[in-house]
């Protein structure tokens, strides 16, 4: 707080963004938040010129209004990329090396070998969204000798990807990948991107991992397909509605791993987030002078 005050700000802290504001919205110049505008109308913040999000996604802010008012908007770029990429790799290794099986056998005091272990070397990995998170995912799989293909709105050469393809062509290539990792932002154009056709077309024994937003996958179609295709494995960290309902059938699938939107968590996030926040706020204050 003192470091931010040293830039010239008066700081007001709210633990919960749904709570009543600590001062009139019309007196606020800069905001650091996550989902503040889900509970408070941005039109009331008539003086705001700067918004720093603590999330990587932009789906919780009114982008059109922010753009029309020329408000500076920043996300938590690169803050969560490393832990999310590690999580994607962990889920694949957990499945390939049968971590659950050995934990189960250990708990039962059973000395049981498993002859179905796999290795990452030589597999093909599709990463949907070749931004910061996607590049960190590709970096880790490439280091383990996997062939990585990025799908995005461009085909420019991108670090850590062996090949880039247009996201609009993904459905044509889905059956050639052993692992699919979803890291793309949730937009009208990407909602339901992992459709019934995509799920049906997945390669035998393939793994699907979603660490982006739940809306990128058609959940009902996924449940239908997984009920028929026991060979697939899906690791979900995000869902269309969060928390995931206790009544959701996803809890019951043996070939689904569920985590509560937790892949971004790391002991190093606070350090990175503060640096991003500080650098942007400092630049903003310099522009005001």
Domain with CATH 3.40.50.720 in the chain: 81-258
CB of 106 closer than 8 Å to CB of 54: no
Would you state the pLDDT for residue 199? 98
Which CATH fold topology does 81-258 show? Rossmann fold (3.40.50)
> pLDDT-based confidence at 236, cuts 50/70/90?
very high
CATH architecture of 2-78+267-288: 3-Layer(aba) Sandwich (3.40)
Residues 6+ apart with CB under 8 A from 244: 250, 251, 258, 260
> pLDDT-based confidence at 289, cuts 50/70/90?
confident
Euclidean distance between CA atoms 133 and 159, whole angstroms: 12
Euclidean distance between CA atoms 22 and 13, whole angstroms: 8
| Helix ranges, the chain (H) | 2-5, 63-68, 81-96, 99-107, 132-143, 170-173, 196-201, 219-228, 269-288
- Strand, coil or helix: what is 85? helix
Would you state the pLDDT for residue 214? 97
CB of 192 closer than 8 Å to CB of 170: no
CB of 14 closer than 8 Å to CB of 21: yes
Residue 4 has pLDDT above 90, yes or no: yes
Residue % of the chain over a pLDDT of 90: 99
How many angstroms separate the first and last alpha carbons of the chain?
21
Residue 40 has pLDDT above 90, yes or no: yes
Task: Write out pLDDT tens, residues 64-77.
Answer: 999 999 999 999 99
Average pLDDT value for residue range 153-163: 98
Q: Which two tokens stand for residue 198?
A: 């995509």
């Amino acid at each position: 707080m003192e470091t931010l005050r040293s830039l010239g700000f008066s700081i007001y802290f709210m633990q919960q963004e749904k709570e009543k504001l600590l001062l009139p919205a019309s007196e606020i110049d800069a905001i650091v938040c996550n989902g503040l505008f889900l509970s408070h109308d941005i039109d009331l913040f008539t003086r705001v010129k700067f918004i720093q999000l603590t999330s990587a996604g932009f789906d919780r802010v009114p982008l059109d209004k922010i753009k029309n008012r020329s408000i500076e908007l920043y996300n938590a770029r690169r803050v969560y990329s490393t832990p999310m990429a590690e999580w994607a790799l962990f889920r694949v290794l957990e499945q390939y090396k049968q971590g659950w099986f050995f934990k189960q056998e250990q708990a039962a005091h059973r000395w049981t070998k498993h002859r179905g272990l796999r290795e990452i070397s030589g597999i093909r990995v599709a990463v949907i969204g070749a931004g910061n998170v996607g590049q960190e995912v590709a970096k880790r799989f490439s280091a383990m000798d996997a062939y990585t293909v990025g799908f995005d709105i461009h085909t420019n050469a991108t670090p850590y990807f062996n090949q880039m393809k247009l996201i609009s062509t993904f459905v044509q290539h889905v059956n050639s990948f052993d692992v699919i990792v979803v890291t793309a932002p949730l937009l009208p154009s990407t909602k339901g991107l992992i459709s019934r056709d995509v799920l049906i077309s997945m390669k035998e024994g393939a793994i699907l991992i979603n660490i982006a937003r739940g809306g990128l996958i058609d959940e009902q179609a996924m449940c239908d397909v997984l009920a028929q295709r026991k060979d697939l494995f899906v690791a979900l960290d995000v869902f269309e509605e969060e928390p995931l309902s206790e009544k959701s059938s996803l809890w019951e699938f043996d070939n689904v791993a569920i985590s509560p939107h937790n892949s971004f968590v790391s002991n190093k996030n606070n350090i990175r987030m503060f640096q991003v926040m500080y650098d942007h706020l400092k630049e903003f204050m310099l522009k005001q002078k």
